[in-house]
Structures are given as structure tokens and as C-alpha cells.
Amino acid sequence: MTLRQKIGQMVHCGFHGYEPSEEIVRLIRERGIGGVILFARNVRDIRQVAATNAELQRIAMEAGLPPLTIAIDQEGGMVARLTEGVALMPGNMAIAAGGSAEAAYEAARVTGDELRALGINLNYAPVLDVNVNPANPVIGVRSYGESPELVGDYGLQAIRGLQEAGVTATAKHFPGHGDTDVDSHLDLPTISHSRERIYAVELAPFKRAVAAGVDAIMSSHIYFPAFESGKVPVTLSRNVLTGLLREELGFDGVIMTDCMEMKAIADHYGTVKAAVMAVEAGADCVLISHRHDLQEGAIDALVAAVESGRISEARIDASVRRLLAMKRRRGLTADAVATVADDAYYAGDAFRRVGGEAHRAVARRISEASVTVVKNEGGLLPLRRERTLVIGVQAAAVSEVDESVDLPMTLGQALAAQGVPVEERTVLLDDVAGQADALAELARSFGQVVVGTYNASFRPEQAAFVRAVLESGGKPVVVAQRNPYDIQAFPDVPAYVLTYESRPLALQSAAKVLAGTAEARGRTPVAIHPDYPAGSGGNGR
């Protein structure tokens, strides 16, 4: 390989559109990039995704390059780029609420099988962050829970499931994003704990992942003063990436950055400049998800850094060897990707299993086990088969990682399918305050009221609305449809149920529990209130 081709292998890029764009084609042919990142903006349906990926691989092979790493964020639950036509698995906290680490393996194995059938060979999962901060705006239900041991147990099973399916697993966000109250998409967070605390909590799952042979680890854009005296985030810290992860923990897989266009990097250092700094720090792979000019600029800056002697070519060679070894380890060879996504391929078993009943049955079983009844005073559950008001707050993207949330089902619709007579009102997040009084008054005329909240612990207007219903004499059953900590804003609600996400499958599972056609078996993987520690649940009180 030429120097430019080797550096290209170290840069993974996103693009816009349902077909390979002119920009991504040029990056492959002229810059030799080693990987492509897919987002929801690249997904129309699963057949199109498979065809796009086959075309991307054809372009790389015709350019004489190794097969491309084609990557995606398919964590499950609320963070997923593929949502239709696949068996979308519950997210991490929902899986952990079900109480079976084996379920983490099953979910990851099915996800891996489906991704590989669509031509995707790397998943930016699992999240190994230990969510010990209820105010965390970006991790939350993406974490398995607040226990380092539990996160390690479930995370290792997810890694095993993905890698057995031939998909690279990426443990993230090293050395831990679980105790921040700032979203690194928006600014640079700091975690100021001592080394002893970080080793005991944040680092513990990652140490186990390294020992278990995880293919890749993604760095966080967070400043850890315990490891870095200069105020630079982990992604740019040689002390953390090389000193801690590579040398002390002995990780010899691929170190990849989180997206270098996130504001924690872009606003403080600049994406192009930071790409060079990340490689100097020890990163093998730099992710630039959106802007073509920054993608080209980063590659040019890295070439210039080697040509000037700032970075040695031997350092580049070491990273490229790791990247190529990762591809070979997951069977990513020219022969393996040579099959064109044609009619014969779509008729084959691998593609036909994508979103099939066998895979969906796994998702249903895991989802139904996750529903958690934390509180049930006065026997409000199961619901009676009588006129019921369901008030829901429409789900919305709460972080850039969500990308978009367009959900085709409501809790009221799911309850109606279980035979509960429903009258439903759905409120936009920004309209809750204006409609609170009218909806509280409406609730007076119903014998049963179900309120679906969405991150109410971060949205005071939702808490005020629930309290308004209580003050009007209502006894609402509150269903927290994402953040389990919502009860902190209204601890006196008589009934409180957790779904951990608002995907249709989660709402269907919750409706079965609310209607009494399924048993509530979930238990909280985190403490959600002083009265409700981790492990709360069962049938509530």
C-alpha cells in the first residue's frame, strides 16, 4: 500500500443517500478509506441496504483495496439505525431488567446474523458504560445498569454474540461515559473521580472485555484528570489510549475514536487537527461521520503529519495491521464479500431470516421479560376492561445519537389491541405545559387513567402534568417509556411501570402486563429512587 492508502484504511466515513454518493465513491477510489458508516439517512429498506453495501464492496475491490468495514450503530432499543424489516432487539437496560445474561447473547447473536446478511460487518456496540448518574443525558437506558459486575456480565455475552455471528463488536465508550451530566455530542464532559474509583467502577467492564478478546474499543470524548494532566479528552490522550489501554490493560485490538465531529472535539480542537492528535495518542481508526471536506481534510492532514516526521510510518503500519487483522478475524475477505446482492441472494436463507418470525420471537421473549412494575398501590393493575384515558408524551430524539425517533405505535393502540377500551391523547414534548390543565380536567371523567412519560425527570413540565392529574383526584398508572428515573419527579404516583424504551415491541409488551395477559417479571438494573433500589420490581407493591 501507498502511504495515502494506509492512512485511508484508518479513516471511516459516513455519507448521505440511499446509494453510494459521489463523495464516498471518491473517498474509496482516491483516498482508499477502510470503512463506511451507515446511518438512518442511508436506510430505505433492508433490500436497498444490502444492495448499497454490495455496491460499496464492489467499488473497493475494483480499486484493489481490502474489503471495507461497513459499520452501524445498532445497539437495540432507542439507538438503532435499522428499525423496519429487521428483528429490532430491546436495548441494554431492558435486556438487563429481564434478568438473563444469556438474553444479551441471544439478542446480539440475532442482531449480528441480520447485520452480516445485509453486508454490515461492524457494530458500534455494546455500550459498557456503568450508568451511576441518573442525570446522565446521553447514556441512561443504553447502559445495562449501575453495577460494574452486571454490566461486565451482560456486555461480555453481547460481545460473544456479535463476534460469533462474524460481526466486529465495539466496546464503548472507554473508559466510561456513565457518570457524566453533559452529552459529549454537545460539549466536553469531565469525570473527576480518583483512579481507585475509576478502576473499580468505570474501567471494570472494559478490563473484562479486553481479557475476553473484544475486537475493538471506542474512546470517549471525556476528560479524566486522574489519567491526564493536560485538559484533553480520552480520544486525544496518549496517557489513556496508549498508556492505560494499550500498555497497562494489554489491549491489542483496534482502538477507534467516537465521531470526531461531535462538539466535544470539533468545538475545542477542530476535527481535522484532532484527527492527527488522536492517531498520535494511539487511535487506530478515526471516525468522521458527516462532512466530506472534513473527511478529506483529515486524511490529508495525517499524510502531511507522516511526511513531516511528526508521526512515523511505522506507527501507521501498526494500526493498519490491526485493522486488517480485525477484518480477517471476522472472515472479511474478498471471497466473502464478492457475492452481489442479486435476486438469488435475496432468495437465500441468510437474507430471508432477516426480520423473520424466529428472530422476532427472540425479541418478543426478551421484551416481555423486561417490563417492570415498580409500584402498584390499590390494585390498579391489571386494568379493568372499562373506558380508559391514555395520555402519552410523544417520543423524540433526546441526543444526536438517537438520530431520529419516528414511532408507528402508541401505548393506547397497544392497550386497545389487548381489549382495553381506550380514548387516547398524544402530546408533543413541547406542548405538555400548555395542555396540562385541560388534560388533567379531562382525566376526571375517566375511571382509569394511564399516563406515558418520556424522560420526565429531565422535563419539569411532564412532572407538573402528572402532579396536576394527581391533584385533580386521579389515580394515574404512569408508564415511563424511556428513562426509569421519572418517578423521582412524582414519587407519590400510585402505580409505576417501566418499559425502558418506546419502540412498538416495548409498548406491546407493556400493554400485555397492564391488561393482565402477561406477568410482570422485570426488575430495575438501577436504583431509581431512595425507596426503590436496584432490583425493585416483580409485581410491585
Rounded Cα gap, residues 343 and 120, in angstroms: 19
Q: Where are the beta strands (DSSP E) in 30-88?
A: 35-38, 69-72, 74-76, 79-80
- Nearest alpha carbon to residue 435 among 479, 493, 394, 404: 394
CA distances from 382 to 386, 448, 501, 539 (A): 12, 11, 21, 10
Rounded Cα gap, residues 119 and 301, in angstroms: 31
Tell me the β-bridge partners of 174: 219
Check: CB of residue 355 under 8 Å from CB of residue 86: yes
Sheet of 422-427, strands arranged across:
372-376, 495-498, 477-480, 448-453, 388-393, 422-427
CA distances from 432 to 89, 345, 359, 469 (A): 30, 48, 37, 13
Catalytic site includes residue 177: no
Catalytic site includes residue 290: no
Rounded Cα gap, residues 276 and 496, in angstroms: 49
Rounded Cα gap, residues 327 and 351, in angstroms: 21
Structure-block grid coordinates of residue 473: 383526584
Provide the residue type at 492 as one letter.
D
Q: Which residues contact 253 (CB under 8 A, 6 or more apart)?
A: 210, 213, 214, 215, 216, 217, 322, 326
Provide the residue type at 414 as one letter.
A
Set 185, 193, 268, 290: catalytic member = 185
- Nearest alpha carbon to residue 126 among 118, 117, 116, 150: 150
Set 179, 258, 284, 486: catalytic member = 258
* Beta-carbon count within 10 A of 324 CB: 16
Q: Report helix, strand and coil shares of the chain as percent, to nearest 5.
A: 45, 15, 40
Check: CB of residue 371 under 8 Å from CB of residue 510: yes
Check: CB of residue 173 under 8 Å from CB of residue 265: no
Catalytic residues: 185, 258
